[in-house]
Chains A and B, each alone.
Chain A
Amino acid sequence: MRLNFSLSKWQFIAFATGFCLSLPLLFLIFESFQPDKEVFEHLKQTVLWDYTFNTIVLIFGVCLLSCVIALPLAWLCAYSDFPGKKHFEWALMLPLAMPTYIIAYIYTDLFDYAGPIQSWLRAVFGWQSPSDYWFFDIRTLGGAIVMIALVLYPYLFLIFKTALKEQSYKLVQASQVMGYSPVKSFFKVSIPLGRGAIAAALALISMESMADFATVNYFAVSTLTTAVYDTWLGYYSLTAAAKISGIMLLFLFVVIGVEKFSRRNQAVFERGASENNGPLYYLSGKSAWLATAYCALILFAGFVLPILILMSYAVSYFSEAFNSDAFLYAWQSLKIALIVSFVCVALSVLVNFYQRSSLSRWAGVPGKVASTGYALPGTVLAIAVLLPLTALDQQLNIFAESTQWFAEPGLLFSGSIFALMFAYVVRFYAISQGAIESSYARISPSLDMASHSMGVSAGNTLRRVHMPLLKRGMLTAGLIVFIECMKELPAALLLRPFDFETLATYVFQYVSDEQLELASVSALFIVLVGLIPLYLVNNTMEAKASHE
């Protein structure tokens, strides 16, 4: 049941957003239909299927491992009590602030033949050379899956946990009354009810893994993303690269399709969040400590250990690694991340509001279309963003030249941080769209009807009815976008103006030379700056919870 507010303004905003954010992709698709001197043919005959296979394995692997890690964690934190839970609830989000390329670098060092672990094993067992024993190789597809899942599982943890908390406790309580064990309740009640949230999170995780470049490149695993790079920068064929991006888009549509399918026939409207008081399951004895140990293990692997190693780098290379530049870059990164997360959240609230209120069959289109940028690898996105922006700049300059109304502005859009911010909005809009969408799905339409019947305008309904209920989703979305912006690398490398570095680009100079130690302080900064909003959001949530 949908309502018919007067929506022309909202419709315009939604479609304009969809149009603007999909522009880079449209330009790229256009590019992919150009002739490409048979490069694509050649790839098809040689390596393309290997790449595609690796990409599929990577996506499935990361999704599966994320589920294994995050679903139990989210459920434990939402419904039960165990030692340290209060801290774990926010601490388990921390790995999200770790750039994957840094974690990959650190673990490679750790598990390397010359690393501390293998050296110790050799010392203990008296082995002399690599042929004396077997040890797993981290620089493999499997290794990449573990690294990426360690950094991405918090998506699923956060979104599923939020969904569980917004689910009605009554259902879980009912399952308790009916004699369901916690495990059965988890599988029979929580997971089916949280299906939409899980699918939304896995869609994000899939796209994020598909677009990862730094890690798979470092591990020498060839995926479609690395193929896009090779083709474009090796074969000099943007057209063939665009064609490969086309394959990735197909993947994306599959992912979105699966997500939609998983939400079919699902309409669970709850206002139950505020009735939540206290855990439903009090774990005791062994099971409580097991829960604690599991949380601690994941936290240790995904965050504590890498941070400790980074700190040890920072201490031993302090004189080289500590300089005032890091502060400047931190400030620049922070600024961009703040603006981008604000824009993403604002736009996705507007788009979702229209999507919800409109009767049109096309109402869902803008949000979907605007989310497509997420699957593009950063470098491709950077070029895709440059296509429309440089065209716009050219036109602007021609216009200035012919009218003489103002001085020629040069590369006003493509040559400034506007390009970078635009690229980030295009890339990360999907995150806020997903989070807001699943929050909206839990607001009962009867509220809209009540609001409408009282003659409240659409704008006021959004402001006074929806926004307070969406607060948690908006915070979550803003937070994740913020952290992603702090970490983002490939697009920043290409789109930053002269004399402008983000922390990530600065750190990367050294990572690319396999000398992360020299930039360890800045790498720590990336993580720390990501922690601030995490802390703030957590506090707001806590305050809200206690207030209720």
Chain B
Amino acid sequence: MKKAIALLALLAAGEVAAKDVVNIYSYRQGFLIEPILQEFTKETGIETKVVFAKKGLIEKLKKEGKYTKADMVLTSNFSALLQLEDEGLVQPIKSNVIEKNVPKQFRDDEGNWVALTKRVRNVYSSKERVGKLDTLTYEDLAKPEYKGKICMRSGKHPYNLGLVASMIAHHGEAEARAWLKGLKANLARKPQGNDRAQVKAVKEGLCDVALGNSYYFGKMLNDPKQVPWAESVYINFPNQQDRGSHINVSGAVLTKHGKNTTNALKLIEFMTDNKAQSMYASVNMEYPVKTDVEVSELVASWGKFKEDALPLTKVSEYRPLALKLIDEVKFDL
């Protein structure tokens, strides 16, 4: 038995990296990035291998140290990019192509990370009971008029943490805490489910407004079961009269000890280029970081909007504090 196990382990470990391959740790579901990866393989002949997990990949990478097989990491939010950088798990991405494709505010000065797509933290409102909210701000959500009307997912989810951190960045800790308390008091139910489930709850009349990322609005229209959910709400871009809506990004890093860095770099370049960027825009309904790539027709129909210009690096400085505040006001309990 032990021999058999040893043999199995050897077999598994013995799969030496093939010549043209890139190994990816991905926080994004396989089926989201699959079409782009297939296109990449078609163009370059480089095979892609993915390990997807929702949690813990960074820790795994850290423990593997210099023997890791992962060449790059794809993240679904900005905090993860910075964490990878902080933990010293990355190497600089040096590429003229990427520098040309990605605007300065969406990549690290040293090239430690690069953003690939943008998404907005929107407020969805019930067509029937609320109507369109063109002048709404995130700050308004803590006002008494929304008591018992708001649905959202866990405050600890990276998308909400990012928003809370941006509130701290703009208003300071004390005011952000008060806002968080007000928001909690306005929740129609304990934070639960994912972003789509919040829209569903609005459809069902459990609440009138919900927080959610922009691309879910498009994705719901692709699933027959979810079309009625999407059709029951308006998508609103908060804070258009002042600083603009809060955005987050998905992105990529090169791992420090990857064995196929050249291939990984090629893939990241590919992901910042027109074809992949427009695939992101059409398949995942996200906003491309490359400025001359058109958003999909559907996304364009939601209208142009103003982005919060505060640099993401600034926002994420407050992420640890945001988490502390969420525990302090027992937001999820």
Interface residues of A (CB under 8 A from B): 42-43, 46-47, 50, 113-114, 129-130, 137, 139, 219-220, 222, 229-230, 232-236, 238, 339, 342-343, 346, 379, 382-383, 386-387, 390, 393-394, 397, 409-418, 421, 493-494, 496-499, 509, 512-515
Contacts and interface: CB of A to CB of B under 8 A. Distances in A.
A415 B64 contact: yes
A47 B333 contact: yes
B55 A379 contact: yes
Interface stretch (B8-16, B112-120, B243-251): B8-16
Nearest to A42: B324
Contacts of B51: 496-498
A68 B148 CA distance: 38
Contacts of A496: 51
B205 interface: yes
A342 B1 contact: yes
Interface in B166-193: 189-193
Contacts of B197: 514
Contacts of A512: 29, 54
B18 to A, nearest CB: 11
Interface string B12-53: 110000000001000001110000000000000000011111
Contact of A409 (B13, B328, B332, B333): B13
Interface in B273-295: none
Interface of B: 1, 4-5, 8-10, 12-13, 23, 29-31, 49-57, 59-60, 63-65, 67-69, 83, 154, 156, 161, 189-194, 196-197, 200-201, 203-206, 223, 320, 323-324, 327-328, 330, 332-333
A387 B60 CA distance: 10
Contacts of B196: 514
Nearest to B9: A418
B12 A42 contact: no
A181 to B, nearest CB: 46
A220 B198 CA distance: 13
Contacts of A129: 205
A416 B12 contact: yes
Contacts of B83: 236
A42 B327 contact: yes
B65 A235 contact: no
A143 to B, nearest CB: 11
B192 to A, nearest CB: 3
Given A46-B328, A232-B59, A497 B190 contact: no
A512 B31 CA distance: 13
Given A46-B330, A233-B55, A514-B193, 15 more contacts: A46-B327, A50-B333, A343-B1, A382-B60, A390-B65, A390-B67, A394-B67, A397-B67, A411-B67, A415-B67, A416-B13, A417-B12, A421-B5, A494-B55, A497-B51
B289 to A, nearest CB: 23
Contacts of A137: 189
Contacts of B67: 390, 393-394, 397, 410-411, 415
A414 B64 contact: yes
A296 B327 CA distance: 44
Contacts of A42: 324, 327
28 contacts: A42-B324, A46-B330, A114-B204, A129-B205, A234-B161, A235-B323, A383-B56, A383-B60, A386-B60, A386-B64, A390-B64, A390-B65, A390-B67, A394-B67, A413-B13, A416-B13, A418-B8, A418-B9, A493-B55, A493-B56, A494-B55, A497-B51, A509-B30, A509-B31, A512-B54, A513-B194, A514-B196, A514-B197
